[in-house]
Amino acid sequence: MSNTEKRLSDLSRRGFIGACAATVAALGATSLGCSENNVRMAETGELEEVEPEWKPVVCWAHCGGKCGLKAYVKDGTVLRLKTDDTHDDSFNHPQHRACLRGRSRKFDVFSKDRVRFPMKRKHWQPGGGDNVNGDLRGIDEWERISWDEALDMVADEITRIKETYGNRAILGSGQQPTNRTYVDYEMYIDFPDFFIKGLEFFNVLNLYGGQVSHYGTGSAGSFQNVPELVGFGTANAGGGIDMLNDRLDARNCEYAVMVGVNPAWSSDGTTLWANFVPMRDAGCKFYCIDPMHTDTAEVLGAEWVPIRPGTDIAFLMACAYVMITEDDPKSNPLIDWDVVNRCSIGFDAESMPEGADTERNFKDHILGIYDGCAKNPEWAEEICGVPAGKIREIAYVLGMENKTALLCGWGPGRCNDVDNLPQILMAVGCVLGGHFGKSGHMTGSSLRDTSASGGNALINPGWRKLPCVPDPVDDCIQDPLLWPAILEGRYVYNGLGQFLEGEEREIDVRCIYNYSLNMLSRTEDQIKGIEAYRKMDFVVTHALTFNPNAQYSDIVLPVCSPWELPPQLGMFTGREAAFLGDKVCDPLWESKSVTWIGRELLARWGIDPDLAYPYSDEQQSFYQISGTQIIEDDGKTFSPLVTFTAEDIAALGVEGEPQEGKISYRDALKQGVITVPRSESDNHGHIAYEAFRTAPEENPLASESGKMELYCRRLEEQTSRAGWGVVSPVPEYVDDQKFGYKATFANYEAREKGPYPFQLFNPHYPRTAHAHFDNILELREAFKRPLFISLEDAESLGIETGDTVLVENDYGRVVRQACVTNRIMPGVVGLPHGGWFEMDEQGNDLGGSGATLCGSVTGGTGVSGYNTQICSVTKVDGSPEDWERPVAMPECQKDEEE
């Protein structure tokens, strides 16, 4: 029986036919979702009394999307969901339609495993030592406790740990602002993105003496720190790096060379539709350079160019080789010499920065003049698997006379030893090809909703006006090395993402406080993570659902979802749309807002709660919405978006001044989706780097020289100082045989495979936004999250689609069902990112979390190498697919259900 059918029979068994059944029949699988809450209300007949209404609600996933979601709400109960229908759909003014995850939101908000009340792990008691029974974390039973008991216990146990071991014994889950972010320190915690909800809780611990923090490049990989150093992109006011032209200009591109760009899976649907399809329709030819033949390639009619994970640097170096050796300014102009001369440094011996070894210039390095290794297409083919002829063809596409977009996702940057990737991308696309600063030409990171689209936001959400309390503890551990550091009690301090000179420090962490982020599934070496959790005196988690962080804790505090909070406006990094989500119902069961929890704890510690939360959730909502600004037609001026009358303000019970905006508060709350419609002739277009290209000296980039650095002194200097591994100042392909392609061989020269013959990577996948949504059985069923394996490899291992396979390496073992396909290149397997791990008694992860197989490995700029793992694959006895298994549930919640 499918989950949909199960749910139906479940519901009718309960005699719950009224409000939901009609919806079920009318809307089908994805629109189901009758909560336990609904059930109760239906049984008491309350649903009959109120007229339902459509309300916009947020989808607060950490996916980069920003989609319209409307809930048909009757007295706090969501009968069904629909998506953006506020205006007709067109490429210039697209509807922002929700994906299946968004349309499954009510399964999340009203899910069975939604944490309903504070809980304590049965065999844990405060006080440390024998009271802890840490080994039982993840397998112990749970008991329901009251909020007062829970808060007293959390406050007292943290006090005990602080007084006994100091604040350096408390690890906080939220990444704190770093002085390396483009976002202003104060603005960071106010970052109006849904997913960072709860992050501001770091203030609470900081007021009580501070916490150990952690820092990593988890998301952007080598694109986190390197672009700024080498002069790739300009800083934008919205808080990021600006590399690409506006999406309307992308339609002028004749070619798009896409290196690991898959908006079909890892952006919301609007992006592939409204940004890329018009490019296709205008005749753009696409190349998708990717280990997988993606759905993106399929939709765009792209040519799939299979490439081994982690080898893009070699591929791009060979493109540079072809351009350098075959360029002739008159008969075969491939290189934009004007750009090389005016906008870059380090191309040849004459343009090297002062004091640098002139033999290490880019051109001679590519040609292999001094190291004897020509980085030609034949050299690259051996490494990356792309035929030399295809490399040559793409190098020509990248030539200066074509209108070309060279786009790169972050997946290729989430590999070990790819610290030079942004630099070689910039070298080939911007400097040699000249694809930047003019219409139809662009080079840069392209992912989430900024895929093929750059420029500042046209709507700027306001701030919640929360303060930002600095952390008195300066300890900060690198994410990839976090769990070993905690287990071994020592680590190397490099500042908060600052590349300071490494300083050996002892550290004795006793407590983990999870208030934001998914510490266990986002950080590598999960098995060590579990060991670290089990070593703690105390682990406390704010949780919406009973996710792995909660499962391995001692106390779980239920937080409410944004559907249960005052209206809020959100926007990710894209430009044209923002969303105002209304409140659907009061906090469900006993869940509370983070503001409430923070205030309660501070009061218990004798600290004025106003220091962290000077305003109520309602007041924060008002500040955020009233502070939101939208661009005028002139493309320059911003004005308030929402009109608030004195009556609105009085009705909200908040403090504030009336203001004139574009839309009344009432209408905004009806509409939800706020957009800036676009047209080719509007004033909102954007050409990245236009000023720099015209006058580089007057408009310097963030690099040391202010230009694009093909030789980057700082890259070498900063990484030598930090000590994770020195990054070459000139692009270099590195494969030191610890992981990556060569490590799959026992003997590379003889091409004899070793014990882990496959390269393994983690594509971001439609089932989840990271680990968010992995508890939804309907999504598990719709998107199986298999292990993708090529036909060729599967045949040699006797594996067929649906067979259960064990994926293993030195760090852990994962169980999945195989999907045998000719859409992944041989020698490479794909394990989609986002699984909730689920350990069986043999230590196999039945949930298939990528973090189970990732090692504590880093290098260079501190990159997390999720996409350069190696593994073996073996067929094993069948196990049920994960949509057929129930999601984890604490006993005491099950009892409550009976």
Give the one residue of 47, 99, 151, 430 binding ligand SF4; rule: CB under 6 A. 99
The pair phi, psi for residue 686, each rounded to 5°, is -155, 130
Contact region for ligand MGD (CB under 6 A) — 8-16, 110-118, 338-346, 764-772? 764-772
| Least Cβ distance, residue 579 to ligand SF4 (angstroms) | 9
Q: Which stretch, 60-68, 114-122, 335-343, 755-763, contacts ligand SF4 (CB under 6 A)?
A: 60-68
The residue type found at 821 is T
Return the range that interacts with ligand MGD (CB under 6 A); candidates 19-27, 303-311, 432-440, 794-802: 303-311
DSSP string computed for 733-795:
----SSSSSGGGEEETTTTEE-SS-EEEE----TT-BTTBTTT-HHHHHHS---EEEEHHHHH
Q: What is the Rg, in whole angstroms, of the alpha carbon atoms belonging to the chain?
A: 27
Among 159, 219, 664, 699, binds Mo ion (CB under 5 A): 219
Instruction: Tell me the closest approach of the beta carbon of residue 69 to ligand SF4, in angstroms.
Output: 6
Which residues touch 59 (CB under 8 Å, ≥6 apart)?
Answer: 65, 67, 69, 98, 101, 102, 105, 194
Please report, as a single letter, which amino acid is at residue 502: G
Q: 806 CB contacts (<8 Å, ≥6 apart)?
A: 813, 814, 815, 844, 873, 874, 875, 876
Distance CA 893, CA 898 (A): 9
307 binds, among Mo ion, ligand MGD, ligand SF4, none (CB under 5 to 8 A by kind): ligand MGD
848 is a contact residue toward ligand MGD (CB under 6 A):
no
- Window 45-64: residues binding ligand MGD (CB under 6 A): 62-64
Q: Which does 67 bind (CB under 5 to 8 A by kind): ligand MGD, Mo ion, ligand SF4, none?
A: ligand SF4
Q: The tokens of 205 are what? A: 């611990």
Token pair 């029949």: residue:
25
Q: Which two tokens stand for residue 421?
A: 């990737």
Tell me the closest approach of the beta carbon of residue 65 to ligand SF4, in angstroms: 3
How far the first Cα of the chain sits from its last, in Å, is: 23
Considering only 3, 262, 675, 703, the residue that binds ligand MGD (CB under 6 A) is: 262
Report whether 18 contacts 47 (CB < 8 A): yes
Considering only the stretches 214-222, 780-788, 837-845, 885-893, report the one whose residues sit in contact with Mo ion under the rule CB under 5 A.
214-222
Q: Which of 454, 396, 561, 434 is nearest to 60 (CA)?
A: 561
In angstroms, the CA 362 to CA 349 distance is 8
In the set 56, 310, 422, 434, which binds ligand MGD (CB under 6 A)?
310
Residue nearest to Mo ion (CB): 219
- How far apart (Å, rounded) are the C-alpha atoms in residues 338 and 330? 14
Regarding 292 and contact with ligand MGD (CB under 6 A), the answer is yes
> Are the C-beta atoms of 893 and 882 separated by less than 8 Å?
no
Give the nearer residue to ligand SF4 in terms of CB position, either 98 or 539.
Answer: 98
Q: Give the binding range for ligand MGD (CB under 6 A) out of 30-38, 128-136, 162-170, 284-292.
A: 284-292
Applying CB under 6 A, which part among 126-134, 191-199, 463-471, 499-507 lies near ligand MGD?
191-199
When CB distances are held under 5 to 8 angstroms depending on the partner's kind, the choice from Mo ion, ligand SF4, ligand MGD, none that residue 98 binds is ligand SF4
769 binds ligand SF4 (CB under 6 A): yes
Check if the beta carbon of residue 182 is closer than 8 Å to that of residue 241: yes
Query: Do 858 and 724 meet the contact criterion of CB atoms below 8 Å apart?
Result: yes
Residues facing residue 444 across a β-bridge: 407
Contact call for residue 640 and ligand MGD (CB under 6 A): no
Nearest C-alpha neighbor of 730 from the set 497, 292, 431: 431
**Rounded CA separation 865/73 (Å):** 44
Amino acid at 589: W
**H-helix or E-strand spanning residue 134:** none
By beta-carbon proximity to ligand SF4, the closer residue of 268 and 704 is: 268
Which CB atom, from 687 or from 769, has the smaller least distance to ligand SF4? 769
Which of 8, 41, 67, 776 touches ligand SF4 (CB under 6 A)? 67
Location of structure tokens 């070498």: 716
User: For residue 33, is it left (φ>0), alpha (ψ between -120 and 50) or beta?
Assistant: left
Pick the binder of ligand SF4 from 200, 268, 778, 882 (CB under 6 A). Answer: 268
Given 265, 491, 724, 758, the residue binding ligand MGD (CB under 6 A):
265
**Contact pick of 97, 522, 583, 713 for ligand MGD (by CB under 6 A):** 522
Residue nearest to ligand SF4 (CB): 102
We find the least distance from the C-beta atom of residue 854 to ligand MGD, in angstroms, to be: 5
Among 111, 404, 568, 867, binds ligand MGD (CB under 6 A): 867
| Residues of span 440-469 touching ligand MGD by CB under 6 A | 447-448
Q: Is-contact 823 292, C-beta < 8 A? A: yes
Residues of the shown chain interacting with Mo ion in the complex, contacts defined by CB under 5 A: 219
Instruction: Write out the residues near ligand MGD by the rule CB under 6 A.
Output: 62-64, 195, 197-198, 218-219, 259-260, 262, 265-266, 289-292, 294, 307, 309-310, 312, 409-412, 414-415, 447-448, 517-518, 522, 542, 544-545, 547, 559, 561-562, 761-766, 768-772, 833-834, 850-851, 854, 866-867
